[in-house]
Homo-oligomer: A and B are copies of this chain.
Amino acid sequence: MERDHTSPSLTLQSAGVRVTPQRLAVFEELRESGEHLSAEALFRRVKERQPSLSLATVYRTLDMLREAGLIVEGRLGDERNFYEANVEPHFHLICLNCHEVRDLSPEGAEALHREAEANSGYRIHWSRLEFFGTCEACQARQPEMARA
């Protein structure tokens, strides 16, 4: 899992968008954490460094980053969106119990894309491949969960 070490400001500049402290902080937080975060969670984290930050700016920034292809958007089981800086094709595993989102190896993701295009005649732009289940930790904690 080699991480991209390009500075966020360079990446924003090369995407041709205006660079502001808010945008830098949001993008940096997402990249450095390597996590899958909701807009709300991201807002709380970045607000510690920038108390004047507003949630609307976070949403606008995430939209902008997604359109620039710098982040990807997914959706949690509880119907909130989440965002992450890993833009390579991969699957998501979402625990129905602890709601943690983890990545699944990208093996087969591109093949699946190509297969879907071949079988359907569609031109695939993006996809959402998410598995919802119980993670190992939660299974161990509450064995009965495994059947819910």
**A residues bordering B, Cβ < 8 Å?**
75, 91, 93, 95-96, 102, 104-105, 108, 112-113, 115-117, 119-136, 139, 146, 148
By the criterion CB–CB under 8 Å, are A93 and B105 in contact? no
Q: How many copies does the complex hold?
A: 2
A95-B75 CB under 8 A given contacts A104-B116, A127-B131, A132-B127: no
* Across-interface contacts of A112 in B (CB, < 8 A): 108, 112
A130-B127 CB under 8 A given contacts A102-B120, A105-B119, A116-B91: yes
The 8 closest A-B pairs by CB, nearest first: A124-B133, A121-B136, A122-B133, A127-B131, A123-B134, A128-B130, A125-B133, A116-B131
